Amino acid sequence: MLLAMLSSCAVGPDFVTPSAPAVSHYANGSDPIVTTSAAGTAQRFEPGAAVAADWWRLFNSEKLGTIVKEAIADNPGLEAAQASLRESQDSLRAGYGIFYPEIEADAGATRQKYSPVQQGQLAPARIFNLFTLSGTINYMLDLWGGERRTVEGLAAQVDVQRATERATYLTLSANIVNTIIAKAAYGAEIEATRQLIDLQKEQVRLGEVQAQAGLVPYSNVLSLRAQLASYEATIPQLEQKQTQADDLLATLAGRTPAEWRPPDISLADLTLPSDLPVSLPSDLVHQRPDILVAEATAHAASANIGVATAAMLPSITLSGSYGTQNTSMSNLFSANGNFWGIGANLTAPLFEGGTLWFRRKAAIDNYQQTMALYRQTVLGAFAQVADTLRGLEHDAMILQAQDEALRDAEEALHLVQANYEAGLARYLDVLNADAQYHQAKINELEAITVRYQDTVALFTALGGGWWNAEKPAASAGDRQDD
């Protein structure tokens, strides 16, 4: 009964999951409810709505879903995270063995020469065979719960690796979607820039004609050529970025760029999600993988305090052995060769030069560090969500302004074309207006791209919705331990 009472306690602090910040929204003042309507879409934020595990499907692109599926299936980084999770689970299962007795069997056969002279006897020496069969059992009483704290720490490491796998999964899916969006934007910018180059070439041709006629100085032609060269230089830069996006997608999919090329996706193939879920602040701390990693790391550090404390206290080991010996195999199991023994061993550290004391102090310091890092991670997560919400609001305003600039440039182009047809404007004026229109189009494409990518950033900031995944589709790391 005394041992049962002692074994029910465990030294060191019991870890308690920290509470979420006592706030009801993320941004200063209040969170936005709906963004400005831009490019025909106003994004609405739905507090408390469920975040889909396959959130990329909200962009309504079958090609996008196919690429994400292939990359998740073959990505080496995700495979490594899953293997690390399995390793931590096996280490936990191995740690449970400390709660069971250690049982060993031993069998031996030796040939010996015995000399009675060593015992002060004058009898002649003799040679004989000795056969031994024995078993031993040892059990260390976990009086102070140090072993239980060790297993608790191993379980916390499993939580760390499980959250790390989820973080890897989330980062992978976000990188894929962002890269696809960027690749589509590069393609659209290349097309718009080539149209702009064609217009600039026409301006250069007209400028040369006017310079030869003495209507304009030749310096005007040089300025037009310099602008043309500047436009042409952007094409290789955009094509290089497009190639890098293809190579990155191949790498994320676990392939080499030479053996895999993703399907082409244009911005027109993507649909901007209009209804965006926003997790409640009280739920975010239980959903973000980086917060869960920080929490589990703090839990492991808390358990280490108990382990270090138990090392400073006495320990008791119970042991027993039973066996038989004889000089012949036929008589090995005879009663006169049996031997046995039982006992208990008490070990207590008396002087370690401060090692055990300061080892415990170091464990406490490490726990305080992990808790501070946990709070820092939570603050960063809340700030990221707030930044993304405000960012989407500002993205819509910027895109609305770019849309207005594009419409104005288009209207100005139509007016100049009408004046040209009426003989009131020069053809060079038409080209200039057309160039301004295409430049406004490029600016709009950039604003659209940022809005798409900030939408991806919101899903990432909320944790990616892994907790809403269907059980059959859950990754290996989400399975419960045996």
**pLDDT by residue (tens digit) across 183-205?**
999 999 999 999 989 988 988 88
pLDDT for residue 83: 95
- Say yes or no to pLDDT of 173 above 60: yes
pLDDT in tens, 64-118: 999 999 889 989 999 999 999 999 999 999 999 998 999 999 999 998 887 777 7
Kindly list the distances between the CA atom of residue 130 and the CA atoms of 117, 341, 464, in Å, as whole numbers in the listed order. 20, 20, 69
Q: Give Cα 322 to chain centroid, integer Å.
A: 54
What's the whole-number mean pLDDT along residues 356-382? 96
pLDDT in tens, 261-300: 888 899 999 999 999 999 999 999 999 999 999 999 999 9
pLDDT for residue 299: 97
- pLDDT tier, 406 (very low <50, low <70, confident <90, very high otherwise): very high
Q: Which of 2-11, 26-35, 464-473 shows the lowest mean pLDDT across its residues?
A: 2-11
Kindly list the distances between the CA atom of residue 457 and the CA atoms of 174, 350, 385, 390, in Å, as whole numbers in the listed order. 8, 57, 9, 12
pLDDT for residue 358: 95
- pLDDT tier, 8 (very low <50, low <70, confident <90, very high otherwise): low
Question: Residue 99 is encoded by which pair of tokens?
Answer: 């709660």
- Say yes or no to pLDDT of 332 above 60: yes
Task: Determine phi and psi for 131, rounding to 5 degrees.
Answer: -110, 130
CB-CB contact of 141 with 260 (8 Å): no
- pLDDT tier, 6 (very low <50, low <70, confident <90, very high otherwise): very low
Domains and CATH numbers, the chain: 2-103+144-314+353-478 (1.20.1600.10)
pLDDT for residue 221: 84
Q: Using CB atoms within 10 A of its CB, is residue 124 exposed (0-12), middle (13-18) or buried (19+)?
A: exposed
pLDDT for residue 2: 47
pLDDT for residue 393: 95
pLDDT for residue 125: 79
- Say yes or no to pLDDT of 140 above 70: yes
pLDDT for residue 423: 78
Q: Name the average pLDDT for the chain.
A: 89
pLDDT for residue 249: 92
pTM: 0.87
- Say yes or no to pLDDT of 1 above 80: no
- Helices 218-252 and 62-74: crossing angle in degrees, nearest 10, is 50
pLDDT for residue 336: 83
Helix (H, G, I), strand (E, B) or coil at 20: coil
- Helices 146-212 and 62-74: crossing angle in degrees, nearest 10, is 130
CB-CB contact of 358 with 312 (8 Å): no
CA nearest to 358, candidates 300, 314, 315, 311: 311
Report how far residue 11's alpha carbon sits from residue 310's, in angstroms, rounded to the nearest whole number.
7
pLDDT for residue 471: 61
pLDDT for residue 14: 93
- Say yes or no to pLDDT of 4 above 70: no
pLDDT for residue 470: 72
- pLDDT tier, 55 (very low <50, low <70, confident <90, very high otherwise): very high
375: how many CB neighbours lie within 10 A of its CB? 14
